Amino acid sequence: MKLLLIEDDKTIADYVLAGLRQEGHVVDHMADGRDALSQAMASAYDVLIVDRMLPGLDGLSLVRALRAAKVMTPAIFLTALGGVDDRIEGLQAGGDDYLVKPFAFGELSARIGALGRRPVQQAEATVLTADDLRMDLIRRTVKRGDVEIDLLPREFALLELLLRRKGRVQTRTMLLESVWDISFDPQTNVVETHISRLRAKVDRPFERELIRTVRGAGYKIDG
Amino acid sequence: MAEGKGARPLELLKSTPVRQAVGVVSLMAVISVTTTAIAFLRVRDGLEETIQTSLDQSAASFSTARTAAELRDQVSAEARVADAEQRIIVLLSADGRSVGNAGARLDAGMPVIFAQPEDEQLSEHGYEFRVIADDRGTLILGETRESVNEVSRVFIAQAAFSLVPTLLLSLAAALVIAARSARRVVGIEGTLERLTAGDLKARVAEDPARTDDLARIAGGLDRMAAAQEASVAALKQVSADIAHDLKTPVQRIAVLMAELRNQTGEGSPEAALAERALAEADRAVAVFQSLLQIAQIEGGGPRGRFRPVDLSAVVATFADIYGPAVEDSGHSLAVDLPSGRPVHVRGDKDLLGQVVANLIENALRHTPNGSTIRLTLRQEGTSVVLSVADNGPGIPEAERALVLRRLYRRETSRTTEGNGLGLALVAAIADLHEARLQLSDNAPGLVVSLAFSTVAALPV
């Protein structure tokens, strides 16, 4: 993907740049808000990564200006502020996602992945598959090969989400947002226990493991 | 003037200026009516007295006649020149004959007069009579009551055409002025309500040309609101600056540690150290984040986002999220919700969720394996009580208020995880929602309960 990173802190910018380039993205970097605005208007990007506190022009105003100019490139805010108000402010300004500092690189990478490929969601699909696993969304059944797997409604929802976003990492916070519609990360690792219950049914009795843990990031089912 | 909220007529009657106006006009009416009545009575008494004096004088003038014949001559002479409409002079002689300017007879001692001759004009106002009966005959003297009746008519007319319209006009004027004041009071009230609801931009914004007491109160309120808005904005700015200045270096530490971990290779002792340093940085951020959040909540800002929230759904969601984690830690989770019925309170869904999460985490952390955590939602009249109970060691009564303080940690829990902010955050969120927070004994264990007032339906 072609990304634009707008971040004035050099240490953080270098780290994010190195990480994203290592993942195969083409990344431009700007440290000043005003320069970034003209850059984002001039070239086409897949995702913008915008720090909220910037010299020249703050991140909120930058995204607001872009939206006013009908530049709808998905934007993810990086911010030191973590209040509910701040998150809502960011989304109202036209941001698509919001990441509070300090963040793990895996979280940023997963969220960029989710934003950049947003349009290709097969909402109309009635059967989701991965390897020998088949999920029938109408009959609400899951099978691996010929073996029927009995899932609780919540486990079904979790597996459905991982299948719909096959090949992309889903972080704990992304799963909490999508499956339970909550926007904070509890101290106890609640998602891990849900995943391990799901694995006990979907993976453990079988030879090949489908749900993979991505270190420092989250979970994914390979596409 | 803030016109947002129209004053209903019935509500206007409850307002102080309108009630005062009605009071003043009523008092004015009573005074006017009383003085007019007194003046009327005095004028009427004067006129009555004049009538009596005039009767006295005529009676005296007839007392000089010594015989019946003399009197008859005097009466017929006087009657010829007297206008019967003004004055009646009649003499009834002992032989039944009468002379005078009208016909008369006595009915049970009271004189009754009639026109004689028939085309004679009598006063329509009636007469005041004097009857003098002696051996000369019965002399009947009458004076018209016209003047008395006339003065009554004048006073009634004055009341009808002057007093009543004056009072009605004053009442109307007073009501208009009072209603205007009352509307200004309603404007001030509305602004206060919006301010308490978290709308820090609310102002009365009266016409600056006004200088009366209401304008001064409105001005004072506006200045106070502006000061509050400025201090909240300053707090926000300071929080933002601190957040930025603290978190950027922490983010750099995290970045450097991650690089260190990558360079030393997985599984090495150095990588493990880097992992631990990262975890500590995360803890520092979590503490800071919680403090920042408590400060923001205490500022009251989130109130502006309040919506009806189904508390039952919030509890169910968190019971679902925590279910497996609670079981894995050797505890058990029991949920007791009103059957399939939404329970709406006005609030912020995320913050209410955080209350449930923090209370579950708190119970998990401070109770031994095998303990039960019970989430209950119970309707009590117009309020709904959310409670999280455990059967662990509980908290002694003396310490219950202390655990709601920021960073307070009980001696017995120094070694457990947690930062001493979970319950403080619950207390701040409860306060924001005007919910009554109570810690009590579950014998054994602890019950934390929050009583919210419910909202009827879901208007959104």
Question: DSSP code of A184?
Answer: S
Q: Mark whether A55 and A89 lie in a shared domain.
A: yes
Is A122 contained in some domain? no
Mutation target for B interface from A189, A193, A196, A214: give the one with most B CBs within 10 A.
Answer: A193
Distance from CA of B250 to the nearest CA of A (A): 7
Q: Mark whether B441 and B330 lie in a shared domain.
A: yes
C-alpha A132/C-alpha A222 separation (Å) is 12
For B248, the closest of A80, A105, A180 (CB atoms) is: A80
- Report which residue type is found at B264: T
Q: How many CA atoms are closer than 13 Å to the CA of A13, on its beta-carbon side?
A: 17
Cβ neighbours around B236 below 10 Å, total:
18
- The residue range of the domain holding A67 is 2-116
CB under 8 Å to A13, separation ≥6 — which residues?
Answer: A5, A7, A29, A31
Put simply, the answer to whether B255 touches A11 (Cβ < 8 Å) is yes
- Report which residue type is found at B61: S
pLDDT for B412: 62
- The residue range of the domain holding B84 is 70-144
* Pairing, β A75-79 against β A47-51: parallel
Question: CATH no. for residue B326?
Answer: 3.30.565.10
pLDDT for B211: 82
User: How many structural domains are present in chain B?
Assistant: 3
For A11, the closest of B252, B364, B418 (CB atoms) is: B252
Nearest 5°: the CA angle B129, B135, B140 is 15
Both structure tokens of B292: 């920042």
Which of the listed residues A88, A116, A144 is the one where a domain comes to its end?
Answer: A116
Chain A residues touching residue B328 (CB < 8 angstroms):
193
Describe the strand order of the beta sheet including A75-79 as a list of residue ranges.
Answer: A26-30, A2-6, A47-51, A75-79, A97-100
Both structure tokens of B244: 């930025």
Q: Mark whether B313 and B447 lie in a shared domain.
A: yes
* Pairing, β B344-347 against β B307-310: antiparallel
User: How many structural domains are present in chain A?
Assistant: 2
Put simply, the answer to whether B251 touches A103 (Cβ < 8 Å) is yes
Chain B residues touching residue A12 (CB < 8 angstroms):
248, 251-252, 255
Is A121 contained in some domain? no
Put simply, the answer to whether A188 touches B317 (Cβ < 8 Å) is no
Which of the listed residues B298, B331, B353 is the one where a domain comes to its end?
Answer: B298
Which phi and psi (to 5°) does residue A218 adopt? Answer: 180, -135
Question: Which runs of E-coded beta strand occur in B253-405?
Answer: 307-310, 332-336, 344-347, 372-380, 383-390
Is B51 contained in some domain? no
CB under 8 Å to B121, separation ≥6 — which residues?
Answer: B84, B85, B115
Least confident window among A161-165, A188-192, B142-146, B245-249: B245-249
pLDDT for B229: 86
Put simply, the answer to whether A104 touches B285 (Cβ < 8 Å) is no
Is B118 contained in some domain? yes
pLDDT for A122: 57
Global pTM?
0.66
User: How high does pLDDT run on average in chain B?
Assistant: 84
> Across-strand partners of A214?
A218
Q: Mark whether A104 and A136 lie in a shared domain.
A: no
pLDDT for B4: 41
SS3 B295: helix
Q: Mark whether A136 and A216 lie in a shared domain.
A: yes
* Cα–Cα nearest to B391, from B367, B369, B365: B367
Q: Mark whether B250 and B134 lie in a shared domain.
A: no
Q: pLDDT tens-digit profile of B162-194?
A: 888 888 888 888 888 888 888 888 888 888 888
C-alpha B355/C-alpha B361 separation (Å) is 10
Is B348 contained in some domain? yes
Is B136 contained in some domain? yes
pLDDT for B10: 63
Distance from CA of B397 to the nearest CA of A (A): 27
Q: pLDDT tens-digit profile of B338-380?
A: 877 888 999 999 899 999 999 999 999 889 999 999 999 998 8
Question: CATH no. for residue A75?
Answer: 3.40.50.2300
Is B201 contained in some domain? no
